A and B are shown apart, each in its own frame.
Chain A
Amino acid sequence: MERRNFLNVTLGALALAAVPASVNAEDYRKTRPAVWSAHTVDDAIKAMYGSTDLVMEGVSLTAPKVASNGGAIPVDFSCDKDIKSIAVFQDANPEAAVCAITTNKYSINKYSIKIKMGKSGAITVVAEGTDGKLYAAKQSLDVALGGCEG
């Protein structure tokens, strides 16, 4: 009996200790696994946010009109709304999702990343507002040399 109590106490303490690290960070790899295997942008957005009703405002997205190297396309995106998360999708590769960021109280939502695209297509950035709306921006671009075949 005492041993059982000891276990319970230890497990409880461990659970408590583990909470602060994950309190404002959500690992979408674990919580929304369907997002990462979705093949179309619509499916991925649906798996991520449960809806595809996008409001095309509030998000700004900058990518080159023509990318000479599909292996490293610079993508800048920002959002001036109060948001909980922001995610990037594209429709040129076998799967749609590129990345998803969970915001925190320190976030200034301005990011730059480099992505790969196998052929010409469109990039969609979706931000989940604290008001429940999905703000988005979309841009199509031409890719001269595909970047997914390595």
Chain B
Amino acid sequence: MKVKAKLKNGVIKVKAMAKHEMSTFNMMEKKTGDRENANFIFHLTGTVNGETVFDMSTSQFLSKNPIFKFQFKADGFKKGDKLLMSWTDRKGKTGKGKGKIK
């Protein structure tokens, strides 16, 4: 997962991209004949220094390789801290990524 974070005026702006197929039930039924082959990100979190700054549950209707943009207050966080992001998908696979706050 790619993560970019920028600190400006006390606000950290984040742009993150997860590399994931995000296949829907209908898509997989058409392609493979089995709805259960569908796989997409279930849950996504972002933490800095152990503090949760982002928490999202998702469905199959995010785009392929979904992009997330969000912002959070820089209370106690500074440049050089690392934003860790991770996701879990329907099959239980996880992905991780980190970005330094610039």
Contacts and interface: CB of A to CB of B under 8 A. Distances in A.
Interface of A: 21, 24-29, 36, 71-73, 90, 93-95, 97-102, 104-108, 110-118, 147-150
B71 interface: yes
Given A27-B43, A108-B11, A149 B30 contact: yes
Interface in B10-69: 11, 22-27, 30-31, 42-43, 45, 51-64, 66-69
Contacts of B43: 27, 29
A19 B53 CA distance: 16
A116 to B, nearest CB: 5
A35 to B, nearest CB: 8
| Most chain B Cβ neighbours within 10 Å, of A24, A26, A116, A147 | A116
Given A29-B42, A106-B75, A98 B27 contact: no
Contacts of B68: 111-113
B27 A150 contact: yes
A71 B64 contact: yes
A148 B26 contact: yes
Interface string B55-97: 1111111111011111111010000000000000000000000
